[in-house]
Amino acid sequence: MILRASPSPSLSISTAQFQSPTLLIPNLKTQFRYKYRRLAKSVLLKTKSSVEQDLDGLPPEFYDDEWQAQQREKTKELRRRQQEEEEEENRKIDEYREIGSRMKGYPQEEVREARKLVSSFIRAAEEVEERIEEAAEKGELNELVLMVIWNRLDLARRDEEKDAIRALDLLYRRVETEILKREATPSMRLLNELLILHDGFNEEGWLKECRKLMVDTFPREDPFTLLVPEGFDINMHEGQLKLPSEADDVLLRVDFVREVDALLQEVRSEQSEEQSTQGLDPESVANRLKQQEKQRTIHQVEALLDLAATLKC
């Protein structure tokens, strides 16, 4: 006798069902949906419990909506400051590029020589005056040298290097004065020498020295003295009378008075356009001191003009 196993209830599928597989699909979908929901629910429960465990160690402020809003505002402020710093850095880079491009129109060899000359001025320290005068005698001072000094001064100002600013500003003014002195007319060179004689205290003694220098500089104002050199004896002279070779270098008193008066008129017109500052901030105080110094110089030039106008040569 052959024993046959009875079929399992779960596997009891009719022949019609076996021959039509599409009938199994609804049951499979239902089982899959049920299992998926159970799995998703268990995952959510585990996730919630793990988050609650993680939040247990945080400070109480974390649960405060107002505190979180403040933190978001701080984050926005930090990002804003970072953006401002980046913009400021980009602006400085553009300015440095602009400073570096100022001398592109000059020959590179001349630019290198000018930079070497300015570096020698800086290294000269206490002997800078002699070095500047030596360079002026050789004809090495020009606009390009001033441009190199100005570029260094501009960079020092942007980097807020106060010591370098003071030193370079003085160097620029000194070189500019030397260039102007070399290019100035005889009248302006004499005026500069007369102003330098002032010690800042003794006004009467200064005017006496200026009178003596004027008498030594201006020629005698009679026609004969202007035409012939000093010591000329007309009774012993024979032949054609010629002008002395140094006649072109002679500075007449009338020329000095005319140029100094024109300079004063120009300076007065510029001064009338300037507005006096009344503030107490450092910039306003510095401007007032400059105006006072300029006014003192104008008074000195006016005194020299009166002295030259009344001088009897």
Number of domains in the chain: 2
Residue 171 inside a domain? The answer is yes
Residue 88 inside a domain? The answer is no
Residue 23 inside a domain? The answer is no
Residue 40 inside a domain? The answer is no
* Distance between CA atoms of residues 97 and 70, nearest Å: 41
pLDDT at site 238: 52
Judge if 170 and 225 occupy the same domain: no
Judge if 204 and 134 occupy the same domain: no
> What's the per-residue H, E or C state across the chain?
CCCCCCCCHHHCCCHHHHHCHHHHHHHHHHHHHHHHHHHHHHHHHHHHHHHHHHHCCCCHHHHCHHHHHHHHHHHHHHHHHHHHHHHHHHHHHHHHHHHHCCCCCCCHHHHHHHHHHHHHHHHHHHHHHHHHHHHHHCCCCCHHHHHHHHHHHHHHHHCCCHHHHHHHHHHHHHHHHHHHHHHCCHHHHHHHHHHHCCCCCCHHHHHHHHHHHHHHHCCCCCHHHHHCCCCCCCCCCCCCCCCCHHHHHCCCHHHHHHHHHHHHHHHHHHHHHCCCCCCCCHHHHHHHHHHHHHHHHHHHHHHHHHHHHHCCC
Judge if 281 and 219 occupy the same domain: yes
Judge if 143 and 196 occupy the same domain: no
pLDDT at site 274: 58
Judge if 194 and 265 occupy the same domain: yes
Under-50 pLDDT residues of the chain: 1-25, 50-54
pLDDT at site 293: 81
Instruction: Confirm whether pTM is higher than 0.85.
Output: no
Could you give the C-alpha distances from 125 to 121, 142, 157, in angstroms and in order? 7, 21, 21
Parent domain of 151? 98-183
Structure tokens at 46: 């585990």
pLDDT at site 99: 73
pLDDT at site 291: 79
Judge if 196 and 302 occupy the same domain: yes
Judge if 103 and 214 occupy the same domain: no
pLDDT at site 58: 65
Residue 281 inside a domain? The answer is yes
* Domain finish residue from 183, 202, 220: 183
Judge if 257 and 146 occupy the same domain: no
* Domain finish residue from 158, 183, 208: 183
What residues contact residue 153 under an 8 Å CB cut-off, 6+ apart? 165, 168, 169, 172
Judge if 138 and 192 occupy the same domain: no
Judge if 129 and 222 occupy the same domain: no
pLDDT at site 47: 54
* Distance between CA atoms of residues 147 and 133, nearest Å: 18
pLDDT at site 35: 57
* Domain finish residue from 183, 204, 237: 183
